[in-house]
Amino acid sequence: MPVGCCNSILPRGSRAPTVALRRVFLEIILDLIFAAHCHQPLGNFDEVVHEACDRAYLPFLRVLGAHPGIRVNLHYSGSLLEWLDDRRPDVLEALTAHRNQIEWMGGAFYEPILPSIPVDDAKAHLALLSEFLYERFDHTPRGAWIAERVWDPSLPSLLREAGMEYTLLDDYALLLAGYPPAIATETFVTDHLGKALTIFPIAQDLRHAVPNAEPGEVLEMLRDRNDQNPGTLAVIADDGEKFGMWAGSSARVYEPGNWLDEFFTLVEETDWLDTTTFEQHLDDHPARRRVAIPPAAYREMSEWSLPAETARTNVRPGSGSEPTDWMGMEAFMRGGWWPNFLVEFSEAAVLYRKMLRLSTHVTASKTPPEPLAELLKAQGNDAYWHGAFGGLFSPHLRAETNRHLIAAQKMIDAQHHRGRAWTYVRHLDWDADGREEIEVELPDQSWVVDPAEGGCLLYFDDKPSRWSISDVVARQFEPCHLDLTETQVYDRHPRRWLIDHLLPSTTTVESFASVSYEELRPLPETEYVIEETREGRGSVRADMAALDGTVSKSIAAQDRELRVAYQLTGAPPGRFGPEVPVSVWEDAGEIRVDGGPWHSIGQPLALAGHRFRLRHTGLKVFLLIVLRQPGSVFSIPIRTTTREDTGHASIFQGVVLWPHWSTGGEGSYEMTIEVGEAAEETA
């Protein structure tokens, strides 16, 4: 009988008389794949992950166990699996108990954005998770979940070489490629350099409906799908945390009414629907249609990664990040692309370049496995971007990434250098901007000076404490700010060490905090010229000048100390000095001057004196700034406003210290910055 007559045999809501009859008319059965991706980033708070276990992961498995006829695909990131192994073995035991209903997906162990890291590192990530799943669950995955579904056309060769036969992409990626929506009801194949990969399309409408729409409504959506394209495929795949962890979802999914239980019951009782898995469908229905997919991700990621100026003019206020009219944005129909986060947020770019340079060092040094393990942990995607998810604005996630980077660098140092009388200085285009920077590694500190950006340090790491001191995200426009009634303060430049300012003598700490000051000279945007670099035994010095010698700056480093000296000639009188941003949580920092009382860092402070000490009570370290010529320090808190799944949030990023001197336009000025252990503090 022709397929078009299927509804006369299996009318809506009816049941097939026998299993044999269902097999005879297999072409009219819709294959449903239900998949969940569960991930917690390294550095996330333990209480948050425990809550996810109790409200999402375990309840999901309990409901699944009550429906033995349902099979699902699961992906747990390696960082989550390691945490569970150490702190919640009961979740791993529950996963093992339901092994007959679970087919595992592989992926990159610590959830990096695969196209953004070196190929060898990507292969190591993929191998680690496959090995874990085989050893723990006796399953070698044939497919991979790719973090944030960030797709690059080169991925097929990488994934196939890692033993993967398929991956998942949102059907939105097909729209970007120009394919009609109907193609999202089947699998398809794409390749790179002759390595073919099967793509399973995630249905965006179903992803949004589960579990927001009623179970019966979701079933009707599936029935309509089968009516339009009989005997095809529907993939529902999304974050496992939406089943209990997202705002309001726990009550909806598991409490009286139990959305998940009702949905699974409806699926089991439906004759025109079969649940299957990716590997089973791959074997039963090999992909036959070839497609070519450009760089892509899910639609929301394309919104979040739009350039700020585009988002400012095309996002509808009150929508968070929803464009006013996607179909009317012809020039931007594809939205942004994940690497645009590295363009829009210089802090993410610096973290990313640090990771790439470390990968180069790890590869070149042929080190034992420990540095590679730290590198892979630092490649987790969360700290490099943001949207409704992502952790670029989460200081604890960035700090965790930096800790792993610094730990790996220390291991490489120990392999290649003995004692403390060594320096590593290299001139190179460190940040791939077409201009030369200077990379410096010493036994206790690591930094890169960028002459083109005001002679600043792109980052400053203290190795003994594994503290990336300069890791402070600046305040800048976000589309979600269109929803706010309060006026937002935006910084004019990234907050980096040794960005110099020459401001009017009337500048107050309040005007400095609100960025309402006037620059007497454009020093933050001025290109400094490197005059000389010198290396000693465990020390380094760099001399540079700007504005035809108006400002000369010398940076000297040794042990855990940095000495910065200035010479001003022919400058107008005012307040002169460099920024020193400090990554510290609001309740973990305090500051004092010349042995006086401690002050909270939560409010702007104007302090005058000679010795300024900021104590990081969380890391039990201190930062001491000594002005050779007594001056002042402005301390301003940096809070960023961003949007999370529960609404807007104000996040304390750290403080910016501005040590400075009152100058008549001529003179020599010097300061030292020292890092030490709080236990060794003296007044």
Catalytic (active-site) positions: 148, 239
23 CB-near residues (< 8 Å, 6+ apart): none
Question: Are 601 and 447 within 8 A, CB to CB?
Answer: no
The gap from C-alpha 603 to its chain's centroid, in whole angstroms, comes to 29
- Per DSSP (E only), the strands in 508-550 are 529-535, 539-546
Closest residue by Cα to residue 225 from 412, 30, 388 = 30
| H helix intervals, 203-334 | 204-209, 215-228, 249-254, 259-269, 278-284, 299-304, 308-314
Helix (H, G, I), strand (E, B) or coil at 430: coil
Burial (CB count within 10 angstroms: exposed 0-12, middle 13-18, buried 19+), residue 533: middle
Closest residue by Cα to residue 396 from 52, 38, 39, 41 = 41
Beta strand pairing call for 188-192 and 289-290: parallel
Question: Are 63 and 104 within 8 A, CB to CB?
Answer: no
How far apart, in whole angstroms, are the C-alpha atoms of residue 348 and residue 22?
53
Question: Are 292 and 190 within 8 A, CB to CB?
Answer: yes
User: What is the DSSP-derived secondary structure letter of residue 528?
Assistant: P
How far apart, in whole angstroms, are the C-alpha atoms of residue 558 and residue 566?
18
How far apart, in whole angstroms, are the C-alpha atoms of residue 386 and residue 393?
7
How far apart, in whole angstroms, are the C-alpha atoms of residue 262 and residue 258?
6
Cis peptide before 211 (omega within 30 of 0): yes
Question: Are 49 and 40 within 8 A, CB to CB?
Answer: yes
DSSP-assigned beta bridge partners for residue 647: 644
Reading the block at residue 398, the tokens are 């960035």
Beta strand pairing call for 106-107 and 102-104: unpaired
Question: Are 476 and 490 within 8 A, CB to CB?
Answer: yes
User: What is the DSSP-derived secondary structure letter of residue 57?
Assistant: I
Total residue length of the chain: 683
Beta strand pairing call for 574-578 and 580-582: unpaired
How far apart, in whole angstroms, are the C-alpha atoms of residue 267 and residue 260?
11
CB atoms within 10 A of CB 672: 16
Q: What is the CA angle 546-550-556, rounded to 5?
A: 60
Radius of gyration (C-alpha) of the chain in whole angstroms? 28
Q: How far is CA 521 from CA 283, 422, 504, 547, 677, in A?
A: 68, 37, 10, 9, 37
Reading the block at residue 325, the tokens are 């009219």
User: For the chain, first and last CA: distance in Å?
Assistant: 91
Closest residue by Cα to residue 374 from 625, 52, 121, 68 = 121
| H helix intervals, 366-454 | 369-378, 395-416
Helix (H, G, I), strand (E, B) or coil at 44: coil
User: For 207-245, b where at least 16 C-beta lie within 10 A, e where not — what string?
Assistant: bebbbebebeebbebbbebbeebbbbbbbbbbebbbbbb
